[in-house]
């Protein structure tokens, strides 16, 4: 099967890292392609960045449908554009936040999320509420790191993340940890070993969840909210994105 | 005070209608400007359309800040882009769904929403959950109308909306009704008279709520999730939207 | 328009302060009248005081209806008697807790409440739940102040309130603050300046919300729970309050 | 032990009926006294009536404390004044709605409530939410009966109640039924036999729950919200109710 | 009336203690029998132990039905087997967690639970959610005690429990305390005196609640989830437990 | 990888059917073993049956750990014993209800469950609440079929299930369907084709989810509630199940 993994931001090093994390867990028979938009923000730190990454993500999904991909992963922990992607995708499309939270709730009775910036905490709490994970989620913690500091080998990002994890285990009594940023995906396995608890990376989780849905032969429901967009005129720069039946 | 009312879709007749509805309730000292994006969908019927209306909405908000508007209304019942708008606006910015639901919950113990298409029901239910209105909201109903049929004087849209309202009163025991589409904003007063219950139009409700917030001297909190976007490179078509400190 | 603002307790200095706070935000075309009951407690600190303020509040609302007021504000943060008031008022009637919480949720993703006494915390938490604001409300904090200490120029009330606000910003990560007592209404603007975050006074918020509802032409729904009381005999001291159709 | 059962309305036949229902379930060693206020409404049908029954209820509780009662039942399904009563009572005080809902949730996985008037439905739903019973409560149904029709031997009240019960069993899949009005308390046993499911009367349930709490030696917590009222001046007609330490 | 109190574990000293606690609160006319299974774990500390105590508990209930008991108490704070017991019992059957939480919510606006081991915290939180007590429950605390240390007169269990209670009062602002283990049932009265707040033992609470339900003539609903098991073959060791109509 | 799929009941034809359903979706590199207990009920229709299937399920898990399986599926829609299984399993263990609900929530905004008997509805609703799926779950429906009728080729089970699905799509506006019994696992693919919406079988979903968790290298957290059982004596028939460190 062929899975298209989309890094919604435009930073190539992060696309590469996400691709490696996806590859690392993919089944032998899965072919991973990793893409990122040609327009939009270099990192996604809040609602504004999110708004400007979504059109590019959707263009990739549209191409993906033409090229016959079997499923899609949107690799940003805010799960940007996932609902819109499901409208235009016949195949399963999932975000890394939803995948990670479901994985965590199957191997523990509670988790804490460690993300980058405090401004992302309310966004992730809202996703937890929407996905029904509020009572599994002990706390969303921020390590006070800009997203792109994760790309900087000289930053002390890893130490700060590890410190937050230990606080989550002690103060929140979390039984597992979710890394709340695609840029942390390379750290999950090592942090799992270090801490002795499941440390879950959403990129990997989403790849495996999409493989699972594809393996079940499940497609996105076209009855109701995820039905194909209704054809209508699109104006200006966005005219090429106009949906036609 | 000067309020900027944004119709997120590109249909001029709807922009005009929204402008009239806003004017009709605005205080004497309020100046209403109504704008719509120069790019994006002709109507917003689902997540995909929503994704493509948001960049245009945000460009208008950015211009609005430069021109010194005192507050913003985003006049689509899916409240598209409201959170992103709050990041870049120093002044209050609200969507018509949130405004209508809060208004309804102050004049009744429960409401039902009558919207256009069934595919919008899950979207509105999710907003109700996010705004804390789940237990006030008896039911979200769809009159099975495309949004633009509301612009067609020959459609039987009004009859279908009225029929849904009577069903909401009888079957849902709703005590008030919210019209779940900006395209219905001209009908609220007449339907209130017809049915004898409060029938609430979000456009009007949002204009008055923004007036209220402005009158209180309240601005959008810049601590936390609605802080200004962090400066960073934006690529390609979206480069002009790059935020700079 | 004419709005009747009711201080549910019998302390004249607090009625005066509430009147000033209401005037300060009212529109030019709004006429504010401030009244307080001729019977009942000097301050409202718990359920018992609340029970004994409500009959006096309702008598004022009845007179207000005869005198043709356009809307009502009940200016105690426990929102005493609001539901009963809505039964007898054709016009909108709102409490300052509901108004403040809705205002806060439109300018931030979360708030903390700073009230007077710890015994009021469960009361306010219950209101937050009823109004659907539980997930917006980070925490209800008490400054351990008797209500009437706010009327004492020699108390250190302001310092204690400010200290609680700073704790709310740091510990609760609240993005805005609600002052949880009508007696604090004169402090909101100053505290907003001091702290740099929206500090919301319910008295002002409720005046503007009622103006908004009146401006929309909305009346309290008379279908369902807020229908007029059913006529029936009232005995003893309360016979004059008997409702007649 | 001595339990004081309070009918919050002023209709003597209902006080008598409530007294009989209380006696019928009381333990041999329990002495039941039934009282009703000398002021207030003849029946409680909404928030306004509720507001005017509470002061009389609280006066009875104050006398009860002086006379050394061991516990209190407030016998109206809206649980009027229960929280205020708990402030002034050292002994347990409970309402019939809370007692009935807890009893139902111990003998079935779900219940429906059958009350008198539709206007009471939102009141009872709100109590269910407050007591944590939302997911046990399938539906609150109204038989469209004025409360005092239950005192009229010529009304067809019983048939209408029975019809609602059968609908609750079939349509709501309720496993037990709660009678949502103290005026129905004489019907519970007969309706249980007729329908074959537990039909729960709140008056009886509350008497037994208070007996249980008394038997456990439990008193109302005086730490926090149910601490004694703070002493302060009460003005006018309510001066006699002023609390003094 | 005759109530059968079941200690689900096989430790005789705990069965004896539970029996004494039940006796201490039972009415004069109540006859208490205390039994424990002849198979299963010596203490219940988690889901695995719980699974192995349930068959023994159910065998006792089956015998109880034959012997004509009027009601059942399952005296472990995880409420093991309560739902299954209700299927085979015609009479009321309740667990000590549900009983304690309802009692606490009638004498205070919030409680904290003090249990033995941290691993039990998620179990009790889940019960609180199921019983609708989440917003009454401030926190579930563990004193880090193995269950059987409560049987050891040389342990410092009591001091640790008392320390947790004081922390619950100060940090959680709990207004009452629930002892979250049947092995603590002998401590409730003494701890109530020491701390001045209601300290609730579930064993006593459940005995009184069952007495209450029996006194109301309530039986477990046989419509729906608690209907008798459907007759069917049981294999192997469990064949004797096969239900026959 | 080797996955152990456990049919918790003792009916061989159902074990065989579950095995086929598991095989049908398993990856090429996955080896499926299907087992059922040698003791317990022939079908699981309620809490009592559930209690008696769990010990047998846990014995299989213990053997599975010794034999080095990589993960476990418990193939009954009540998810019996899953939490206990996670205590003794180092590898992931999941139930088919949790797996199916998470799968459904990734391909649609809502689902309805079609199960066998009405008595199972409250059990599944409780699981939905526990898994956070309440607002995704439109309704749990029962086709009024005994579980073993699904094994009878002459029953009209399939027609009744299909009829319920069509009602779910029309009346509940469900966007996907979950088959709420392992005995229906062979029908999912055919019903998906017939109805045009995703029809999800929990057995398949759980196999793929476990494959996903194993592929991620995730193990059950041993910190907190799913830590290994504490060693202690087990009496009587259950002595062999005594856990030793």
The tens digit of pLDDT for each residue in C41-53 reads: 999 999 999 999 9
Q: By CB neighbour count within 10 A (0-12 exposed, 13-18 middle, 19+ buried), where does D153 fall?
A: exposed
Report residue E1 as tokens.
């009336």
Closest CA to F180 of F197, F159, F202: F202
Interface check for F122 against chain D (CB to CB < 8 A): the answer is: yes
Instruction: Give the pLDDT confidence of D11-22 residue by residue, as tens digits.
Output: 999 999 999 999
Instruction: Note whether F12 contacts E: Cβ–Cβ < 8 A.
Output: no
C1: pLDDT strictly greater than 90? yes
Residues 177-216 of C with CB under 8 A from B: 189, 192, 196-198, 200, 204-205, 208-209, 211-213, 215-216
Cβ contact C109–A118 (<8 Å):
no
Tell whether E125 lies on the interface with A, counting CB pairs under 8 A: yes
In angstroms, what separates the C-alpha of B18 from chain F's closest C-alpha?
A: 30
pLDDT at res. B41: 98
Q: Quote the mean pLDDT of chain E.
A: 97
Rounded to the nearest angstrom, the minimum Cα separation between B127 and chain F is: 13
Read off the tokens for E150.
């409560």
How big is the CA angle at A186 (ends A183 and A189), to the nearest 5 degrees? 135
- Residues of B with CB below 8 A from F173's CB? 118, 121
- Say whether pLDDT at C245 is over 90: no
Q: State the pLDDT at residue F147.
A: 85
d(CA B71, CA B65): 9
Helix ranges (DSSP H) in E68-197: 82-88, 96-107, 121-130, 157-171, 188-195
Q: How far apart are CA F92 and CA F216, in angstroms?
A: 11
Q: Is the pLDDT of residue E245 over 80?
A: no
> DSSP 3-state helix, strand, coil percentages of chain D (rounded to 5)?
50, 15, 35
Q: H/E element holding A111? A: strand A111-115
The verdict on F135 touching B (C-beta cutoff 8 Å) is yes
B173 touches chain D (CB under 8 A): yes
The percentage of chain F sitting over the pLDDT mark of 90, rounded to a whole number, equals 93
> For chain B, how far is it from start to end, CA to CA, in angstroms?
27
Q: Which domains does chain E have, with CATH numbers?
A: 2-96+205-241 (3.40.50.12500), 97-201 (3.40.50.12500)
pLDDT for B245 equals 77
Under an 8 A CB cutoff, do F122 and D109 touch? yes
Q: pLDDT of E178-219, one tens digit each?
A: 999 999 999 999 999 999 999 999 999 999 999 999 999 999
pLDDT of amino acid C114: 98
Is the CB of residue E83 less than 8 Å from the CB of residue F46?
Answer: no
Return the minimum-mean-pLDDT range out of B2-6, D147-151, D197-201.
D147-151
- The token pair at E47 is 């889901």
The 3-state DSSP class for residue A139 equals: strand
pLDDT at residue E127 is higher than 90:
yes
pLDDT band at E146 (very low <50, low <70, confident <90, very high): confident
The 3-state DSSP class for residue E51 equals helix
Residue D225 at interface with chain E, using a CB cutoff of 8 Å? yes
Closest-CA residue in chain A for F222? Answer: A197
Neighbours of chain A (3+ CB pairs under 8 A): B, C, E, F
Q: How many CB atoms lie within 10 A of CB F195?
A: 17
In angstroms, the separation between the Cα of residue B237 and the nearest Cα of chain C is 30
pLDDT value at B75 more than 90: yes
Q: Could B173 and D118 be called an inter-chain contact, meaning their C-beta atoms sit closer than 8 Å?
A: yes
Cβ C229–D46 below 8 Å, yes or no?
A: yes
Question: Which residue, F71, F65, F91, F77, is CA-closest to F7?
Answer: F77
| Residue D105 touches partner F, C-beta closer than 8 Å | no
d(CA E121, CA E110): 17
Q: pLDDT tens digits for chain A (245 residues)?
A: 999 999 999 999 999 999 999 999 999 999 999 999 999 999 999 999 999 999 999 999 999 999 999 999 999 999 999 999 999 999 999 999 999 999 999 999 999 999 999 999 999 999 999 999 999 999 999 998 888 888 888 889 999 999 999 999 999 999 999 999 999 999 999 999 999 999 999 999 999 999 999 999 999 999 999 999 999 999 999 999 999 87
Q: Is the pLDDT of residue B235 over 80?
A: yes
Find, in chain B, the residue whose alpha carbon is nearest to that of A88: B48
CA distance A85 to chain E (A): 34
CA distance D119 to chain C (A): 4
Beta pairing, strands B199-201 & A31-35: unpaired
Quick check: do A and C touch, 3+ CB pairs under 8 A?
yes
Phi-psi region of D79 (alpha: psi -120 to 50; beta: other; left: phi over 0): left
Say how far apart CA E214 and CA F33 lie, in whole Å: 49
Q: Which two tokens stand for residue C102?
A: 């809705």
Which residues 6+ apart lie within 8 Å of C193 measured at CB?
A: none
Record the tokens describing residue B8, joined without a space. 């997120």
Residue D108: per-residue pLDDT:
98
Q: B137: which strand partners?
A: B111
């Amino acid at each position: 099967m062929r899975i298209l993994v989309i890094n919604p931001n435009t930073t190539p090093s992060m696309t590469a890292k996400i691709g490696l994390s996806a590859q690392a867990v993919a089944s032998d028979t899965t072919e991973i392609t990793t893409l990122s938009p040609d327009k939009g923000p270099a990192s996604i730190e809040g609602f504004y960045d999110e708004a400007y990454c979504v059109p590019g993500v959707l263009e990739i999904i549209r191409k993906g449908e033409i090229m016959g991909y079997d499923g899609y992963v949107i690799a940003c922990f805010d799960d940007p554009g996932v609902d819109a992607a499901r409208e235009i995708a016949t195949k399963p499309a999932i975000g890394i936040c939803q995948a990670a939270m479901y994985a965590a709730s199957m191997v523990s009775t509670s988790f804490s999320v460690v993300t980058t910036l405090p401004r992302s905490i309310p966004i992730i709490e809202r996703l937890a509420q929407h996905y029904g994970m509020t009572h599994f989620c002990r706390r969303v913690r921020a390590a006070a790191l800009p997203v792109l500091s994760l790309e900087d080998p000289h930053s002390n990002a890893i130490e700060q993340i590890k410190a937050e994890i230990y606080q989550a285990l002690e103060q929140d009594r979390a039984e597992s940890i979710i890394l709340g940023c695609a840029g942390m995906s390379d750290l999950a396995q090592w942090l799992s070993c270090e801490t002795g608890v499941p440390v879950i990376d959403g990129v990997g989780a989403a790849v495996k969840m999409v493989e699972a849905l594809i393996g079940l032969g499940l497609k996105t429901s076209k009855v109701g909210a995820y039905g194909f967009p209704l054809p209508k005129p699109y104006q200006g720069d966005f005219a090429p994105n106009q949906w036609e039946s």
